[in-house]
């Protein structure tokens, strides 16, 4: 949730003077982390599901 919330903050506060006080990371970094984590979790989850179903 940290990266998603920070991404939303980055979009909402873009162009405001308090942007650097509110946002932790650049929105591009947050989006990259979200995409990488999604990919890893989908691959690992699929592998575990297939392994469990074939051993049944």
* 22-52 per-position pLDDT tens digit: 999 999 999 999 999 999 999 999 999 999 9
Q: Region 5-15: what's the mean pLDDT?
A: 95
Contact 10, 21 (CB under 8 A): no
- pLDDT confidence tier of residue 13, bands split at 50, 70 and 90: very high
8-state DSSP, 35 = H
pLDDT at 56: 72
In whole angstroms, what is the distance from residue 34 CA to residue 2 CA?
Answer: 10
Q: Region 7-25: what's the mean pLDDT?
A: 95
* SS3 state of residue 41: helix
In whole angstroms, what is the distance from residue 25 CA to residue 32 CA?
Answer: 11
């Amino acid at each position: 949730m940290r990266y998603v919330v920070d991404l939303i903050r980055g979009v909402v506060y873009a162009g405001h003077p308090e942007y650097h006080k509110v946002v932790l990371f650049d929105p591009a970094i947050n989006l990259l982390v979200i995409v990488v984590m999604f990919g890893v979790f989908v691959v690992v989850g699929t592998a575990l599901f297939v392994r469990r179903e074939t051993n049944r």
